[in-house]
Structure 1
Amino acid sequence: MKIKTVALLGAGAVGSYFIWGLSEKLGDSLWVIADGERKKRLEQEGILINGKCYRPCVRTPKEAKGADLLLVSVKYGALGSCLTDISQIVGEHTIVLSLLNGVDSEEIIGRKIGMEHMLFSMMKIASRRVGNEIVFQEKTTIGLLYGEKDQEEPSGRMLAVEELLSGTGIHRQMCRQVLRDIWHKYAFNISMNLPQAVIGCGLCAYAFSENAAKLRWELRKEVCEVAAAKGIDISELSDIEKMHVEKTPDTRYSTLQDLDAKRHTEIDMFSGTLMKLGRELGVPTPYNEVIYYMIKALEEKNDGKFDTVQKRKEKE
């Protein structure tokens, strides 16, 4: 098994890491998926990553049919609308890696194209958009962690991915228990992203405030209880949760970055999904429910829903 062609759906903060890492090795065999005006814009302007402009080969989903590997790195909220594109790209032997946060994107995609295509994975990267540029720290990025859902030993597909990424600068690690590792990252994201997003402060909140720390650990406890109901033990902090890029006291994680930029967050993927799983499994998730509705309200505030009549008239 050899991966010769790679399709990338979603060229944002995560997808750009693979454009940066694979462009030199694959050349025109790396395809960024887009159509319409976005395709024209990418072809004309390229993508600015860490100070360098990349001009990848851009293909429509139909043109990319049968790619050996498909990397899905869209925002969680856009995943449903991208399923048709994904099904157009996937051929009989296509391997699919979902690079999204959360614990259910593989199942969502697999229901559309067949779970046999899915190789489970997650990303550990601190990347951000600065103007029209994607920026990340090459040396401290942990990168891609991947593995088979029900198999601890490396499979042929895993070895093919390793061969593809070797010599590219992309950091990666094979996981023996990838589902458990994905849930550890999920617990980290919920417990670290969400309290600071509501409070509106940097990472230092957890060290300086007993209240923030209490909220963090109660949120993580609920993730552990839902995971346990699914037969996954994440009660102890793992190496995955301890692995992180260099952070400063004012570090602001992705949910707070979204609110700062007045974008909608991925709260549906975080607490929204956990609440749904909790209801299905009979596990209460009160802390996640409260923080879910608080962040939804902050999104509405950013949208101007709470503006006074005078402010609305001024905007008009």
Structure 2
Amino acid sequence: MRIVIFGAGSLGSLFGALLDGAHDVTLVGRDPHISAVREHGLRVTGVDDFEASPAATTDGTELDCDFAVVTVKAYDTAGAARDLATGDVGAAVSLQNGLGNEATLAAGLDCPVVAGTTSHGAMLSEPGVVEWTGRGDVVVGAWRGDGAAGEGGDVSREDEHGRGTAADPASGVAAAFRAASIGAEVESDIGRRLWRKLAVNAAINPVSALARIRNGRVFEGPTAEYAARAAREAADVARAEGVDLDAGAAVEAAQTVARRTADNRSSMFQDVAAGRRTEIDAVSGVVAERADEHGVDAPVNGLLCALLRGWEAGEGLR
């Protein structure tokens, strides 16, 4: 299959390298990383050590592919949709942090949108080299406008080539990942998965970024209670939106991820350390805003969002 990875940062580059073993992959990203991939290929270290040779470009317009995996920062999603809309894209697959990316893609593209989550970990070591910091899973589901799986019954339908159907693009995406030996499954209740991931990110990312600590320390010492409160608040908002997410289960999921990725620096911590804008708007920000809409209390998410937005403003990043 022809697959575009739109957003060849750490995670996008990892998936590009893994998918390149079974598909025709094109990375879309920025220099100097893209130039290094074009000249020397893409090397993966960490969990496994291998080299891949995907095509690579800095121009995301007029691309032709069976599906595009979107891994840009949440605030760049609208731009990604504009670029992809100039080409011929069979489906767009969001494997991004935060909530709302699928709606943004759907608004800008005339193709099916697939929502997804992943627990794989990656970090760009240098241009042309990505460190695979943790093996995880991929879960996808067809998005219809509310984060839920597409209507129409069986969510695992595939055509005779294993590509999925127009009514069920998620199964084709999962099959393509599995063809490259990447564990992937289709989830009928993808909305719940997205909210659970949001609760995990709300607990770990802003706390680790503000405290400058690795994931494993978030639920230790003085930050532990605030991380747990952030996850519980996200679950409270999810339930207000009709998503069945227990607060205790959300905290447990965040603690499990923190333990499993104990030595990792969260993506938000990496952004702050590098002086880059963060995805706080699509994580703590969306929790706080939707909490206000539903009359739910979410003071910890509101404070975490305000602190990181204040830092960004002071650095001239907003």
Partner of 2:212: 200
**Cα deviation 1:241-284 (Å, max 9, x = unaligned):** 57648647554322222222222221111112223323333334
Judge conservation of contact 2:96–2:117 (CA < 8 Å) in 1.
yes
Q: Tell whether 2:18 aligns with 1:6.
A: no
Q: Select between 34-43 and 213-222 the one with higher mean Cα deviation.
A: 34-43
**Cα deviation 1:3-27 (Å, max 9, x = unaligned):** x22122111111112221121222x
Judge conservation of contact 2:5–2:12 (CA < 8 Å) in 1.
yes
Please state how far the C-alpha of 1:126 moved relative to its aligned partner: 1.5
2:103 partner amino acid = E
1:1-316 aligned within 5 A: 4-26=1-23, 29-33=24-28, 42-50=37-45, 52-58=50-56, 60-65=59-64, 67-91=65-89, 94-114=90-110, 117-132=112-127, 133-137=129-133, 140-148=134-142, 149-151=148-150, 153-155=155-157, 156=164, 157-209=169-221, 211-235=222-246, 236-237=248-249, 244=257, 247=260, 251-300=264-313, 303=315
3-state DSSP of counterpart to 2:10? coil
Q: Which runs of 5+ in 1 are unaligned?
A: 306-316
Judge conservation of contact 1:125–1:245 (CA < 8 Å) in 2.
no
3-state DSSP of counterpart to 1:154? coil
2:55 partner amino acid = C
Please state how far the C-alpha of 1:173 moved relative to its aligned partner: 2.5
**Cα deviation 1:42-97 (Å, max 9, x = unaligned):** 533543332655432246444423x2111111111222222211212344xx1211
Q: Select between 266-275 and 200-209 the one with higher mean Cα deviation.
A: 200-209
CA gap 1:204/1:71 in 2 versus in 1, 3 angstroms = closer
3-state DSSP of counterpart to 1:8? strand
1:79 partner amino acid = T
Which structure features the higher share of helix residues? 1
Please state how far the C-alpha of 1:135 moved relative to its aligned partner: 0.4
2:230 partner amino acid = L
Q: TM-score, normalised by structure 2?
A: 0.79
Alpha-carbon distance between aligned partners in 2 of 1:99 and 1:146, rounded to the nearest angstrom: 9
**Cα deviation 1:89-133 (Å, max 9, x = unaligned):** 344xx121111111210011111124x611221121211122332
Alpha-carbon distance between aligned partners in 2 of 1:54 and 1:189, rounded to the nearest angstrom: 30
Q: How many residues align?
A: 292
Q: Which runs of 5+ in 2 are unaligned?
A: 143-147, 158-163
Larger Rg: 1
CA gap 1:304/1:53 in 2 versus in 1, 3 angstroms = same
Judge conservation of contact 1:101–1:123 (CA < 8 Å) in 2.
no
Please state how far the C-alpha of 1:40 moved relative to its aligned partner: 5.8
Judge conservation of contact 2:120–2:135 (CA < 8 Å) in 1.
yes
2:201 partner amino acid = N
3-state DSSP of counterpart to 2:193? helix
Judge conservation of contact 2:61–2:86 (CA < 8 Å) in 1.
yes
Alpha-carbon distance between aligned partners in 1 of 2:116 and 2:290, rounded to the nearest angstrom: 20
Matched-pair identity in %: 20
Alignment root-mean-square deviation, CA: 3.0
Partner of 1:312: none
**Cα deviation 1:145-169 (Å, max 9, x = unaligned):** 1123335732433332233223423
